Amino acid sequence: MTVDTKQILVIGPGDSIFVKDFISQYEKRGVTVDLLSTNRAGGLKSVRTQINIDPAPNSLFGKTGKHIKIINTIRKSIKSLPDNYDAVVIHSINIFLAPSINILKKKTGKIVAVVWGSDYYRSTPAQNIFKRKIYRSVDSIVFTNPKTLQDFSRKNPRIPPENLKIARFGLPVLDEIDRLKANIDKRADLPYGFFGLPSHKIIVLAGYSGSLAHRQDLAIDAIARLKPETRDLIHLVFPIGYGAPGIKKTIEDKLAQADIGSYTILTDFYDFSDAAKLRCVTDILINIQSSDQFSGSMQETLYAGGQVIAGAWLPYQEIIDIGAKIKSIDKPEDISAAMAELAETHAYRAEEPGTAVKQYIKNVSSWDRNIGQWDKIIFANRS
């Protein structure tokens, strides 16, 4: 499908690596992209026009007045944009878009809503009222795995099943991992120094963003419960390059309370090359957030040879069945036992991931394999 000369509007958090990469992939293929960022984001070189919807200042009318200001700002911003987009792609369903959805429909012949894990699993009943207005107004709703789609369909029977689609994001970090590891013969050659990490310790990442939804507090509690000799083997790492402000101090306070001194907090936002370095030095990733569709950071960690401790409630069974090094736990309290087993047996980075696992990740998460499906959803004529 030819997509050059097309133009699309992307609506979503402009500081998200997923939004940035999605825009970059289409800009490289000749598509003109405008961005309506639902948060304050730095300027993206890949877009023609960028409008940031900054958080509204406090209002004399409290939270309600603040929300009205956001809604009015979004409405004015949408009206200022062109009327001839081939498609509008909404990444992460922002409830404040709902009052402007009919204005948005006048800008394009097709609207695509991309549901992120947090959209669906962490949404409150009140938020769902506004999100359903958006879902019922768009032409396609995209999920990254069948399980979430099926659950969504069951809970939203009024939305036509033919409007529900599956498409995955590509992971450019996978290619960077391949390039990096092609020049590495042994563990000592891994780029620990780039992040200031100790190469003689087990590098354990607690989550992969600056959001407390990753339950960094529970990971800290789990490490604190380990025997001293086991704790001494571990160096905790907290990547918080994007996410909630103030989280660094929250984590530092929690670490001090737990008397954990071997840790690093990474506050930089890494490009794909540097993100690959981080995946290659990660021995264990702790992923116990309450919900997830199919974490890119988790896939990258497995692809680079690391292991994952993950909640059994997350939809990872398919990749576990083909041999992925994921240790499932039934509840967060089980992190300590899982970590002790991996650390005390030194069963980390013992071998490269199996060919089947690497090929599976490549198949489901490379842009070469996935961009065609996005093209069909975004640009194909409506039936």
Q: pLDDT tens-digit profile of 65-117? A: 778 888 999 999 999 999 999 999 999 898 999 999 999 999 999 999 999 87
One CATH from 3.40.50.300, 3.40.50.2000, 3.20.20.70, 3.30.450.20 for 173-364:
3.40.50.2000
What is the CB neighbour count within 10 angstroms for residue 221?
18
Is 0.85 surpassed by the pTM of this model? Answer: no
CA diameter of the chain? 64
Average pLDDT over residues 227-247: 83
The token pair that represents 127 in the structure block = 């938020």
Q: Tokens representing 260?
A: 């954990």
Q: Rounded to whole angstroms, how far apart are CA atoms 36 and 12?
A: 7
Listed range (189-193, 274-278, 353-357) with the worst mean pLDDT: 353-357
| CATH assignment of 7-170+366-379, among 3.20.20.70, 1.10.10.2840, 3.40.50.2000, 3.40.50.300 | 3.40.50.2000
Which sequence spans correspond to the domains of the chain? Answer: 7-170+366-379, 173-364
pLDDT in tens, 290-313: 656 677 888 999 999 899 998 887
The pLDDT of residue 383 is above 50? no
pLDDT class of 138 with cuts at 50, 70, 90 = very high
Q: How confident is the model at residue 265 (pLDDT cuts 50, 70, 90)?
A: very high
In what side-by-side order are the strands of the sheet with 326-329? 263-266, 234-239, 202-206, 284-287, 307-311, 326-329
Q: Reply yes or no on whether the pLDDT at 214 is more than 70.
A: no
Which residues, 6 or more positions from 182, have their beta carbon under 8 angstroms from its beta carbon?
none
The pLDDT value given to residue 62: 59
pLDDT at 354 over 90: no
Q: What is the pLDDT of residues 13-27, one digit of tens each?
A: 998 888 999 999 999
The token duo for 58 is: 């406090």
Average pLDDT of the residues in 266-285: 90
Residue 370: is its pLDDT beyond 80?
yes
Closest to 198 (Cα-Cα) out of 230, 161, 167, 236:
236
Across 224-253, average pLDDT? 84
Q: Give the residue-averaged pLDDT of 346-350.
A: 55
Average pLDDT value over all residues in the chain: 86
Q: How many CB atoms within 10 Å of residue 201?
A: 16
The lowest-confidence range among 33-37, 106-110, 263-267, 290-294 is 290-294
Q: How many CB atoms lie within 10 A of CB 211?
A: 16
Among 10, 65, 57, smallest CA distance to 37 is for 10
Considering only residues 151 and 56, tell me which one the structure prediction assigns the higher pLDDT.
151
Using an 8 Å Cβ cutoff, are 279 and 303 in contact? yes
Answer yes or no: same fold for 7-170+366-379 and 173-364. yes
Q: What is the 3-state secondary structure (H, E, C) of the chain?
A: CCCCCCEEEEEECCCCHHHHHHHHHHHHCCCEEEEEECCCCCCCCCCCEEEECCCCCCCCCHHHHHHHHHHHHHHHHHHCCCCCECEEEEECCCHHHHHHHHHHHCCECCEEEECCHHHHHCCCHHHHHHHHHHHCCCCEEEECCHHHHHHHHHHCCCCCHHHEEECCCCCCHHHHHHHHHCCCCCHHHCCHHHHCCCCCCEEEEECCCECHHHCHHHHHHHHHCCCHHHHCCEEEEEECCCECCCHHHHHHHHHHHHCCCCEEEECCCCCHHHHHHHHHHCCEEEECCCCCCCCHHHHHHHHHCCEEEEECCCCCHHHHHCCCCEEEECCHHHHHHHHHHHHHCCCCCCCCCCHHHHHHHHHHHCHHHHHHHHHHHHHCCCC
Provide the pLDDT confidence category of residue 217 given band limits of 50, 70 and 90: confident
* pLDDT tens-place string over residues 119-131: 777 788 888 899 9
